[in-house]
Structure 1
Amino acid sequence: MPSKTLEVTTSEGDIDQVATLAKPQAETPQPIASPLAVPMIIGEGCDLSGLLSFDPESIEPAHSTVRDEPSPSVTADQLQCLKALLSSPIETLVENSEEVKNTLEETQPHVPVTLQLKLWPVVMLSAFRSRVQLARQRIDSRHTHLPLEQATVAGGKDARTTTQWENTSPFLMDRQTNKTIVMEGEDIYDCIDVNLQPALSQPLLKDHKIQMEPSSFPIGLNVKPLLRQVISQAHMSILECPAGMVPILRNRRRDQISSKKIDIMINKDKQQEEAGIKYYADLYGVRATINVYEPKVKKGSNDASQTAIQIDNGPRGHVDSICVGYSVSPSAHGDNFARFHAGWRNGKLNKTCFDHDCPGFVQISHNVGLGGRVQPVSVYNGPQYVINILIFKDPKTNNWWLSYGEDNTPIGYWPSSLFNSINNKGKFSFWGGYVSGPTASSDSPQIGSGHFASEGYGKASFMRNIQIVDENSKLVTPNEYKGRYGISDTRKYSVDGYKVNKYGIHMYYGGPGNLV
């Protein structure tokens, strides 16, 4: 059982299973694009706002000289596919411009000339890639970047201004804060010198020299699945600390909890349940696309629900572990939001940590806030959102790196000196969700969407494109004979919809727990 832890001008709402199985597996339904598209402008003279409101069934095919002209229903399906593509986030559009172009060429003979003229500039989408990236950076910065001297906290008539925040974190008391950033929801981040971050007070990292970037990334990282439909990316807490600084969450609620109680909450005699895939092999990394939900955990509960990818190694009772994903934990944060966490465990010391709550993880990113909210989150039978996560071992330094997003942006790493068994390689991995805490079995929270895996796309949580890094630092599809379903209680949770292709493993997981 796995160890559990833990400027293109755009508006503010930009358009935006590896198991040895005895029975045949159902095909995984293909994801569809988010229907929540809003008007947007791409560059100059390419206004898609009119296009995105058209009804394919209402368009009569233009006259065609081709003998075998598609039927109106086929044409409508093609147009609906084009609409779905163009309703995807702008960042995804420019990355998949070739697919948009091909779909456009298929549908062009069957749409009115006026619509053809509107669609023509879409073939130039790739030219806007750099401008879109710059626009996204500016938007994120504008939403989250607040000055230290006068940080405004949003909240309508309750908005207030603060000139100073009391710093109670034991890891930040003796460190100079360059800037304080207050996020929506009153998460507070301190910008700390990268060379003074909490990780460097870890005795296991004595005389550690910070590695500012990986020596290399896994081979095959740039190979992306060609999808007929796309799913929107959820965003982590993105903020702008100055260069040479890293953001550290000042969680006042956790500061008020004694270290002894935290240790009890994380490690001691807790109940736990799980739903996912267990995989046994030599591992040098794992990558996955994770569907983001906010599973229900009862208010006032000390339980937590988490979805993650995990790598372990070590003898029973002394397992080293790395675990990355999102969780809902009211007792840790005082809310029921999905928050992004990076956790690790030293099996010999029997010590579990996550984010910067205790020293160990070395952050190099100046704009990713560990412990912050992941948003937007998926809606049952509605829009779906995902995050892309990659954990991999640096072949030169043996440090374990964490990166995120479609561009695999590095966040930081766990130095190999933190571990005893996993410093060379992992031997076990878990992909899925689990709940843990004093009542996680007797009064189980939800996992994932809170619905059983058999409900499929848009209703059940999924992980897709799960790949592993082999001994040659190459991303490969896992061996389907080395995996097993890991379901602790089939009355509460399930795993289904498993399939394997050249892009990895795909599966659904989750369930209502006792919250039926």
Structure 2
Amino acid sequence: MKLNVELVPLLLLFFNLSPCEMAYISEEDDLDLERQVKTMNKPFIKTFSTKEGDTIDCVDINKQPALDHPLLQNHKVQTEPNLHVTSLRRTSLNAKPVKFGLREPCPSGTVVSLTDNMIENIKYGGGGRTSVFNLTVARDQVSAHNVWIETGPPEHISMIVAGWMVSPQLFGDTGAWFFTYWTGDGYRNGCYNVLCPGFVQVDREITPGYPIKRVSTYGGPIAELVIHIQQDRITGNWWLIVTSKAIKVGYWPKELFLYLRNGSLHTAWGGIGIAGGNGFCPPMGSGHRPDGIIEHATFFRKLHWVRSDGKFLRPSNKTREWVDRSNVYGLMIHHHYRKYGSGYMISFGGPGGYCRV
């Protein structure tokens, strides 16, 4: 599925990837071993277990695994962005926010270490609010719902992705998880969440790869995830911000990217369904096609991109609808949806089904 705006594509994408194309979910064994050895040699200030069974190690913020990346040897951790984010507050839509803050926070001074030429057309970030649902997917299927920031030719594309995902292979269960993905050079580097060095953690609790327990119900009530990604114009780092309270989770240093050093040409929203080996695509969104009722299909609302002066702008009305595998997914564009103060809105998804060409 795909939404296109002139010069600013709004993407609702569906990819049918083979297992080999999913290889970047995990690193090669030797590189993974090297990373784990380095992580084990870092002094943990505190370790505890979560209800989900994760082991959380609290490390000195200046000694976190992200800084092992060779491009970040001289990087100084930025604990606060030079941003003034004030537009993530709740609106009149009767939706309950996805809850973070259910884990024990790390001590002060430490962060979580998970062991596992067209100036006005340049975007400096983007985001929105997406409803989260429980889905039933096969072990080798992936259903993701996210915002993209990307620029560059396909063979060297630089990309940042954040949203919610159901992926038994990546997370070990069929629950909904908050996730991120990045690549700086056409998938030659980068990874999901913190499976490789790069993302600099700042918040003492919320991390990429965080379980989402509050989800929506078909017909209501609604639980939504607030996502905002914005480049700090002074340092060039790309910050990940979540929830209506604008919690600054951390950032991707600009040094990681070939084509995201000074803004991006593309900001996008939508979903990805990755088929299993049997050629069946997973359910996407709520598992139902959009029908115009906000509580029925997954939505992205209050879509916005960030101008050079930090102002949030809505997508333009010059959109073209494109739905790949339209036999299993659907898309509705609501444009400037005034009901509930939802701003520019799209709804999408479907039950999935056989989709191999």
TM-score range relative to shorter protein: 0.7 to 0.9
Label 1:225 to 1:249 Cα distance change in 2 as closer, same or farther (>3 A).
closer
Choose from 76, 101, 105 the match for 1:240.
105
Q: Does 1:195 align with 2:62?
A: yes
Shift in Å, 1:396? 0.7
Please give the alpha-carbon distance, in whole angstroms, between the structure 1 residues aligned to 2:141 and 2:223: 24
Which residue pairs with 1:289 in the alignment?
Answer: 129
Greater strand proportion:
2
Shift in Å, 1:497? 4.7
Q: Does 1:452 align with 2:266?
A: no
Local SS of the residue matching 2:268: strand
Which residue pairs with 1:377 in the alignment?
Answer: 215
Give the TM-score, by structure 1 length.
0.58
Please give the alpha-carbon distance, in whole angstroms, between the structure 2 residues aligned to 1:224 and 1:334: 33
Local SS of the residue matching 1:449: coil
Which residue pairs with 2:325 in the alignment?
Answer: 489
Segment of structure 1 superposing worse, 413-422 or 175-184: 175-184
Alignment deviations for residues 151-181 of structure 1 (CA, whole Å, 9 cap, x no partner): xxxxxxxxxxxxxxxxx94452111122222
Does the 8 Å contact 1:447/1:513 carry over to 2? yes
Label 1:223 to 1:506 Cα distance change in 2 as closer, same or farther (>3 A).
same
Which residue pairs with 1:509 in the alignment?
Answer: 348
Please give the alpha-carbon distance, in whole angstroms, between the structure 2 residues aligned to 1:515 and 1:337: 23
Local SS of the residue matching 2:353: coil
Local SS of the residue matching 1:454: coil
Shift in Å, 1:349? 6.3
Aligned length: 320
Does the 8 Å contact 2:55/2:114 carry over to 1? yes
Question: 1:196-235, aligned counterparts within 5 Å?
Answer: 196-218=63-85, 221-222=86-87, 224=89, 226-227=91-92, 229-235=93-99
Local SS of the residue matching 1:351: coil
Which residue pairs with 1:181 in the alignment?
Answer: 48
Label 1:484 to 1:181 Cα distance change in 2 as closer, same or farther (>3 A).
farther
State the superposition RMSD in angstroms: 2.6
Mark the runs of 5 or more structure 2 residues left unpaired by the alignment.
Answer: 7-34
Question: 1:263-274, aligned counterparts within 5 Å?
Answer: none
Label 1:453 to 1:18 Cα distance change in 2 as closer, same or farther (>3 A).
farther
Shift in Å, 1:437? 5.4
Of structures 1 and 2, the one with the larger relative CO (CA 8 A, separation 6+) is 2
Mark the runs of 5 or more structure 1 residues left unpaired by the alignment.
Answer: 3-16, 21-167, 252-279
Label 1:495 to 1:19 Cα distance change in 2 as closer, same or farther (>3 A).
farther
Label 1:296 to 1:282 Cα distance change in 2 as closer, same or farther (>3 A).
farther
Which residue pairs with 2:22 in the alignment?
Answer: none
Label 1:205 to 1:433 Cα distance change in 2 as closer, same or farther (>3 A).
same
Q: Does 1:425 align with 2:267?
A: no
Give identity over the alignment, percent. 29
Please give the alpha-carbon distance, in whole angstroms, between the structure 1 residues aligned to 2:65 and 2:151: 25
Please give the alpha-carbon distance, in whole angstroms, between the structure 2 residues aligned to 1:401 and 1:355: 14
Local SS of the residue matching 2:84: coil
| Greater Rg over alpha carbons, structure | 1
Local SS of the residue matching 1:332: helix
Give the TM-score, by structure 2 length.
0.83
Alignment deviations for residues 225-275 of structure 1 (CA, whole Å, 9 cap, x no partner): 752x42101113643100111112334xxxxxxxxxxxxxxxxxxxxxxxx
Does the 8 Å contact 2:287/2:349 carry over to 1? yes
Question: 1:315-354, aligned counterparts within 5 Å?
Answer: 315-347=153-185, 350-354=188-192
Does the 8 Å contact 2:98/2:243 carry over to 1? no
Which residue pairs with 1:45 in the alignment?
Answer: none
Does the 8 Å contact 1:341/1:355 carry over to 2? yes
Local SS of the residue matching 2:215: coil
